[in-house]
Structure 1
Amino acid sequence: MRDFDIIVYGATGFTGRLVAEYLVQAYPGRGRWAMAGRSAAKLAEVRDLIGATADTPLVVADADDPASIRAMAERTAVVLTTVGPYQLYGSGLVGACAAAGTAYVDLCGEPAWMRQMIDAYHEEAKRTGARIVFSCGFDSIPFDLGVMTLQDAARERFGAPAPRIKGRVRKMQGGFSGGTAASLKATLAAAAREPSLLKLLASSFALTPGFSGPHQPTGLIPEYDATLGAWVAPFIMAPINTKNVHRTNFLLGHPWGEDFRYDEMMVAGLGDVGKAAAEAISKLNPFASDKGPKPGKGPSKEARDSGFYDLLFIGEMPDGSRLDAVVTGDRDPGYGSTSRMIAESALCLVEDVTGDGGVWTPGALMGAALRDRLKAKAGLTFTAG
């Protein structure tokens, strides 16, 4: 019997604090969870600020102290970590969870590192029963489960999955997190040191070892989407989301076919105005400025609560038939919605899903169970028709 169901590692950081606060508010009185970080004093301060009970356990753990990381992993059923960039601070924790048979969820959008962890720990996690689940935030749950929702509906209506799906971000308010920006910078720095990573980063099948499917739409340049009658532009999170979607298909034994094609883009608008907007978006780097949030910092509660997103998934069947699915969220994607998604992912592993060990995606391991939790508790909707 482990001491805890969930340890929130990184609880003194901005996103980790939001996760801990969500657990306090959404599940009052629920015991068997703890807050972890480098400083007991800072953990106690956050515990009091978020209204957690005074007896909420505090666990001191530091990525620079492997023994403390191992001890943390051995005490809990699930480690929920917001301590990134994961390629700088996460490898030891993944290894410790794999060795201890401990489930793990994070917010990783760093595909080269994820592939390294798959290669290093997938078999060990299978042996010990550790369920390692990356990308349990805005990248990539709404997209992973959005595709799954559409494919469920396609099989029901047409008797077969859609071989081609377009993911389209129709509306979104709220920025990306400081951790996302830091992760991208760390990834680019790693690629500069090791150019071979560039090929991995460019491949839609970077997370499907031993399998490479058909050529995929790149989504790297503005284009006119005849299906929508609108111009679309590159979406900054597509390089991680598309890889996770293909890994879900891969892990499930290719229920959507080995020839499945998928891409993601942002809807820019109609006519000449839409074309100009798409071209402007394609030249914009939201991480280029130093004005964005720093790791550990983030927007106000008012800004988080006023954020939202609206995602459209278009399934195209071989006979020309079309089926759509829509995913919405009622908080800003980078913080408010993400903190809820990762918390519910951890709870899903504790309460709803067993499954074999290994390195998973949210969709492949938790699927409909997680979707139901997010609809009931986290402000997301999933519809198809």
Structure 2
Amino acid sequence: MNPDAPFDLIVHGATGFTGRLIAEHLLARHGADSSIRWGMSGRSADKLATVRDEIGAPESLPLIIADAADPASLDAMVRQTKAVITTVGPYQLYGEPLVAACAAAGTDYLDLAGEPLWMAAMIEKHDAAAKASGARILFSCGFDSIPFELGVFHVQSLARRLLGASAPRVAGRVRDMKGGLSGGTAASGRATMAAIQANPGLLATMFDPFALTPGFKGAEQPRGDKPRHDDLIGEDVGPFMMAAINTKNVHRSNLLQGLPYGADFQYDEMAIVQPGVQTEFPSLSAEDAPAPGEGPSREERETGYYDLLFVAVAADGRQVRGSVHGDRDPGYASTSKLIAETALCLIEAPDVAGGIWVPGAALGQRLVDRLSSHAGLTFRDETAG
């Protein structure tokens, strides 16, 4: 982090759908708060000014011109701020120049990446530089994967309190959800599929639950790719599309925390199958999939939600249960609050060392508390219920 930078936070990609929502959240929370110095960044000064006017921000809100195709503009931007939020994806197409600039400058970086092939490559290429400069680089700061990573963190905290130790097995289950993925997520998924088609060898990374834990391989993991009856919860379950990234982030979180869940920790993630309940996202290739920059109406965003169950199982079979509930649709309104508040939490945590992180591993209970207070997440103990 650059402690003497003139800005605390810059939202890069603020003219996009999700970037604009992030700016709206920051304006609502800190519009008149001079202690938070933030601005918006993008390729077009005119579009940035339009967004600033449309969201009701003052003319004094700084606008910064920066473009992934112009490395000098990225370098200039990151040296002005403690942290950058970027929504400019797919990250495998546009993300690396900004990661590299932040890692070199010691500037904190947060994104919404759910692209494990790209994330694995960035860890290999830029983790050492980030550690050297002090830059804290946080991937996956939206619906993928904060509610899932913190859901495991939460239920393991319950296990230590109620069972006396962390549990070697956790099952994540999507109980209910209203809302869909964002246009950026859909585009990222299509870009990942195109990369695999061009290089089939990348499939091994996609199927490896430890693809984001270089140098560490844990126990064989439960499969979540086929519908089945789940005896653990007494419900039918099916594959959940985001599990491919969330499970990898959970294992990276365990590693970065020093393996508090154990070296043989097992985690799987599936959706409870209930008639009339949407627990799966639409196909990435569907003709009606959202395009980048598109999204649902305000009413649709505000009436969306998600409800996640986490069951921790001790070696002797005893269980504890925790849940995470989000009060807005996962792909847009909740995601924009999650990444904005995570950035502010990170800025206030100078004790976190440099390197490529996932949010829960970096910020732990501080992030649980902040998201509970300011981002609409509710963490519950359902062990007795």
1:210 corresponding residue in structure 2: 215
2:194 corresponding residue in structure 1: 189
Name the TM-score, length of structure 1 as normaliser: 0.95
> Counterpart amino acid of 2:6?
D
Give the C-alpha shift of residue 4 in structure 1: 0.3
Using the alignment, how far apart are the partners of 2:272 and 2:285 within structure 1?
A: 22
Are 1:8 and 2:8 counterparts?
no
In the alignment, which of 19, 26, 30 is matched to residue 27 of structure 1?
30
2:140 corresponding residue in structure 1: 135
Q: Is the CA contact (8 Å cut-off) linking 1:352 and 1:369 kept in structure 2?
A: no
In the alignment, which of 352, 355, 367 is matched to residue 355 of structure 1?
352
Question: Secondary structure at 2:79's aligned position in 1?
Answer: helix
In the alignment, which of 69, 84, 91 is matched to residue 89 of structure 2?
84
Are 1:17 and 2:26 counterparts?
no
Are 1:245 and 2:250 counterparts?
yes
2:241 corresponding residue in structure 1: 236
Give the C-alpha shift of residue 351 in structure 1: 1.8
Change (3 A) 1:353 1:286: farther
> Counterpart amino acid of 1:341?
L
Are 1:381 and 2:378 counterparts?
yes
Using the alignment, how far apart are the partners of 1:353 and 1:327 within structure 2?
A: 27
Using the alignment, how far apart are the partners of 1:351 and 1:336 within structure 2?
A: 23
Q: Is the CA contact (8 Å cut-off) linking 2:282 and 2:289 kept in structure 1?
A: no
1:287-329: CA deviation from partner (whole Å, max 9, x where unpaired): 2312121101100000000000000000111111110010000
2:304 corresponding residue in structure 1: 307
Are 1:144 and 2:144 counterparts?
no
In the alignment, which of 257, 262, 279 is matched to residue 257 of structure 1?
262
Q: Is the CA contact (8 Å cut-off) linking 1:35 and 1:58 kept in structure 2?
A: yes
> Counterpart amino acid of 2:167?
A
Using the alignment, how far apart are the partners of 1:156 and 1:230 within structure 2?
A: 27
> Counterpart amino acid of 1:174?
G
Name the TM-score, length of structure 2 as normaliser: 0.95
Q: Is the CA contact (8 Å cut-off) linking 1:353 and 1:366 kept in structure 2?
A: no
Using the alignment, how far apart are the partners of 2:184 and 2:320 within structure 1?
A: 35
Give the C-alpha shift of residue 352 in structure 1: 3.6
Alignment of 1:68-107 (within 5 A): 68-107=73-112
Q: CA RMSD in A?
A: 1.5
> Counterpart amino acid of 1:65?
D
Give the C-alpha shift of residue 102 in structure 1: 0.3
Are 1:267 and 2:272 counterparts?
yes
In structure 2, runs of 5+ residues without a counterpart are none
Give the C-alpha shift of residue 229 in structure 1: 1.3
Give the C-alpha shift of residue 346 in structure 1: 0.7
Alignment of 1:44-59 (within 5 A): 44-59=49-64
Q: Is the CA contact (8 Å cut-off) linking 1:208 and 1:247 kept in structure 2?
A: yes
Give the C-alpha shift of residue 28 in structure 1: 2.6
Q: Is the CA contact (8 Å cut-off) linking 2:322 and 2:380 kept in structure 1?
A: yes
Give the C-alpha shift of residue 30 in structure 1: 2.6
Where in structure 1 do 4 or more consecutive aligned residues deviate above 3 Å? none
Using the alignment, how far apart are the partners of 1:6 and 1:354 within structure 2?
A: 18
Using the alignment, how far apart are the partners of 2:22 and 2:198 within structure 1?
A: 34
- Percent identity, aligned pairs only, is 56
Q: Is the CA contact (8 Å cut-off) linking 1:168 and 1:266 kept in structure 2?
A: yes
> Quick check: 27-36 or 13-22, which moved more?
27-36
> Counterpart amino acid of 2:98?
L
In the alignment, which of 332, 346, 349 is matched to residue 343 of structure 2?
346
Q: How many residues align?
A: 377
